[in-house]
Amino acid sequence: MSKFSQFLKQVLPGPLAGALRDARDWSRRAGDWPMATFHPWRQESIRKLQVLRDQHRGQRCFIIGNGPSLKHTDLSLLKNEFTFGMNRFYLMFPELGFQTSFFVSINDLVAEQCASDFQALNMPKFFSWRARKWLQPDDHLHFLYTTYTGPKFAKNATGRLWESATVTYIALQLAYHLGFQQAILIGVDHNFTTQGKPNTTVVSEGDDPNHFSPAYFGKGFRWQLPDLETSEMGYRFARQAYEKAGRQVLDATVAGKLTIFPRIDYLSLFNR
């Protein structure tokens, strides 16, 4: 919570403080909107996103988190599935022997430090409009208008998408936009060894214990501590949106701590 929000909470009644905070957040978003809508790079991304809409109607996809549970998940079963990789999951590509169908990253610190890796990816890839500071347009790249504030679930990814403090929520909105009937989460452990105030920027002092690889956010990497409460708010929006449309989000994470979505055994999803 920002200092301004804390101040409002202390001196004003709850509803009034919330209204003022929402007005301030809307004002900030309104300043970003023209460039995020009419800039030629965004216009091209909007055109490409419109082409992608509902291309996978009725199909299923796997959204791959980056938790340690991936070390106990047989990812080889995903070779012929539609998959979303996120943030630094590309570190797994050499071991897997295949790439994910789509790739998503929205965090500014990750984009800044991994820009050359992201630029080299050659599948449909999706980044926050803010990442234009580090990334150049290419045939595979889509800039998304994502915001920190203004909670919502976007069924159409050409407009504004709320981040809900997790790239997984953006992937769920993209999967909906693409028409997937079923989105299955794996590696979304929803549990971090490193503790501290949510959204605080820290510098990794050694091997990363929070992800599938110790090099994921390895020594010297700048990253932000998770905000699990805000993430859960978004996940509830996602479940409601999917179920209202007769679609489904399932959680097949091995020993995951997230309780928002129906759980399913990962191996039961495959005919072996």
pLDDT in tens, 88-127: 999 999 999 999 999 999 999 999 999 999 999 999 999 9
Mean pLDDT of 144-164: 97
Predicted confidence (pLDDT) at residue 2 exceeds the cutoff of 90: no
Question: Could you tell me which residues come within 8 angstroms of residue 62 by beta carbon, excluding any fewer than 6 positions away?
Answer: 78, 81, 82, 83, 84, 183, 184, 185, 186
The pLDDT, as a whole number, for residue 231 is 98
The pLDDT, as a whole number, for residue 1 is 54
The pLDDT, as a whole number, for residue 266 is 98
Q: What angle do CA 67, 69, 73 make, to 5 degrees?
A: 125
Query: Which residue is associated with the tokens 């953006």?
Result: 170
The pLDDT, as a whole number, for residue 5 is 58
The pLDDT, as a whole number, for residue 121 is 98
State the pLDDT confidence band at 11, using cuts at 50, 70 and 90.
Answer: low
Predicted confidence (pLDDT) at residue 18 exceeds the cutoff of 60: no
d(CA 108, CA 130): 7
Tokens of 76: 């080889």
